[in-house]
Amino acid sequence: MPTISKKGQLMPQSPIRKLVPFAEQAVKEGKSIYYLNIGQPDIKTPEIALQAVKDSNIEVLAYSRSEGSEIYRQKISAYYKKHDIHVSHIDIIVTTGGSEALLFAFGSIMDVDDEIIIPEPFYANYNGFSTASGVNVVPVISKIEDNFALPPIEEFEKLITPKTKAILICNPGNPTGYLYSKEEIQKLAAIVKKHDLFLIADEVYREFAYDGNTHYSVMQEAGLDEYAIMIDSVSKRYSMCGARIGCLVSKNKSVIQTALKFAQARLSPPTLAQIASEAALETPQSYFDDVIEEYVDRRNILISELQKIDGVKVAKPKGAFYCIAELPVKNSDDFAQWLLEDFDVDGETVMVAPAGGFYSTPGVGLNQIRIAYVLKKESLIKAVNVLKEALKVYKD
């Protein structure tokens, strides 16, 4: 009998998607579901991006360059300039989503059994990318009581071993919505320089910074050229998750040369989606202003409704479109499944992501869920009401 690899067996299921069969069954049984589990925005993709694909008169849908089309990379570099990030197109490799950029970054800087320090809770697929790369995640816990602020630097230093190669942050954070301050980035910069580590910053939610806070990129921090690797994506910025376009950005020439070899092995990023992504760069600021206003309203409603429920604790997100909520339940995996299988309010239920999968420390976060506020305000209110009613009757 042929056997599955150990790595394959170790690959974690996505906590965001693992309950899909139960949701499908619930729908078959006639329930309607508020999907709060996945960061798939309901916001419209900019028309200009969709139109560019319709207008393209391509006769042969050819491969592009492995590092992505030059003109697109030049335009990305101009976009970054507007955000005070000064990189050239040669510092950019276009990838098939931010996901592939993360895989290329891991592959370029880490060997099997190397270690990466990540503040947790973190984007669940970091566990999957680490397993796929044979890399060990060393978590440093950020707490809901502290609103998920960066843990003290001493906590990072305690975890550094000869195998540590990098620190990975997500800014603004999925699943916490935490936005790192300039001072926090500077503390991380000092530590990576002191210990010769890479600082990978997943900045796919850059635009989603609220309450007058501005996002501070690792690429803005002086002296980090050899250390910083930025991960980016069009998925959330332009509500173009299905385009599958992202990029890896670094001023470190060896990182780019190495990542390019990974890029060559998979030939090229998708051609039509690069056309859409290039056009999306023309999206007017008013689009973002409207989108941000909408997310701030949604966040405010979601948080205030959640705070009204007895026993629920929630940290107020400063960015992105997720929050972690602590519930008066023992095991949110069971609770989330029960919501789909056994509960409804007038035929409606909710799908949430159990937060245990956003931690790598076993047993942590089991009473938490991640909520993506990607639905309209009215739906969010109804969805939280379903949660409230569910918590009244749920027995662990």
Ligand X SMILES: Cc1ncc(COP(=O)(O)O)c(C=O)c1O
Greatest alpha-carbon pair distance for the chain in Å reads 60
According to CB under 6 A, which one of 15, 68, 246, 270 is a site residue for ligand X? 246
b/e code 233-251 from CB counts within 10 Å (16+ = b)? bbbbbbbbbebbbbbbbbb
Structure tokens at 19: 């309950």
Is residue 114 close enough to count as binding ligand X by CB under 6 A? no
- For residues 125 and 349, which CB has a smaller minimum distance to ligand X in the complex? 125
Please give the Cα distance from 32 to 63 (Å, whole number).
Answer: 41
Tokens 């332009």, located at residue = 238
User: Comparing C-alpha atoms, which of 72, 122, 52, 39 is closest to residue 247?
Assistant: 72
Amino acid at 230: M
**Cα-trace Rg, the chain:** 21
User: Could you tell me the smallest distance in angstroms from the CB atom of residue 57 to ligand X?
Assistant: 28
User: Comparing C-alpha atoms, which of 337, 349, 341 is closest to residue 387?
Assistant: 349
User: Could you tell me the smallest distance in angstroms from the CB atom of residue 92 to ligand X?
Assistant: 15
Is residue 221 close enough to count as binding ligand X by CB under 6 A? no
Give the residue ranges of DSSP H helices in 146-236.
Answer: 153-159, 182-195
Instruction: Candidates 59-67, 95-103, 144-152, 220-228: pick the segment binding ligand X (CB under 6 A).
Output: 95-103
According to CB under 6 A, which one of 66, 69, 164, 235 is a site residue for ligand X? 235
Is residue 239 close enough to count as binding ligand X by CB under 6 A? no
Is residue 202 close enough to count as binding ligand X by CB under 6 A? yes
Is residue 357 close enough to count as binding ligand X by CB under 6 A? no
User: Could you tell me the smallest distance in angstroms from the CB atom of residue 123 to ligand X?
Assistant: 4
Is residue 123 close enough to count as binding ligand X by CB under 6 A? yes
Instruction: Candidates 17-25, 73-81, 93-101, 383-391: pick the segment binding ligand X (CB under 6 A).
Output: 93-101
Is residue 120 close enough to count as binding ligand X by CB under 6 A? no
Is residue 270 close enough to count as binding ligand X by CB under 6 A? no
- For residues 39 and 121, which CB has a smaller minimum distance to ligand X in the complex? 39
Is residue 160 close enough to count as binding ligand X by CB under 6 A? no
According to CB under 6 A, which one of 15, 41, 46, 97 is a site residue for ligand X? 97
SS3 308: coil
- For residues 172 and 309, which CB has a smaller minimum distance to ligand X in the complex? 172
Structure tokens at 34: 């508020």
- For residues 123 and 338, which CB has a smaller minimum distance to ligand X in the complex? 123
Do 355 and 369 contact (CB within 8 A), yes or no? yes
**Angle formed by the axes of helices 97-109 and 253-265, nearest 10°:** 120
User: Interface with ligand X by CB under 6 A: which residues?
Assistant: 39, 97-99, 123, 170, 174, 202, 204, 233, 235, 241, 246
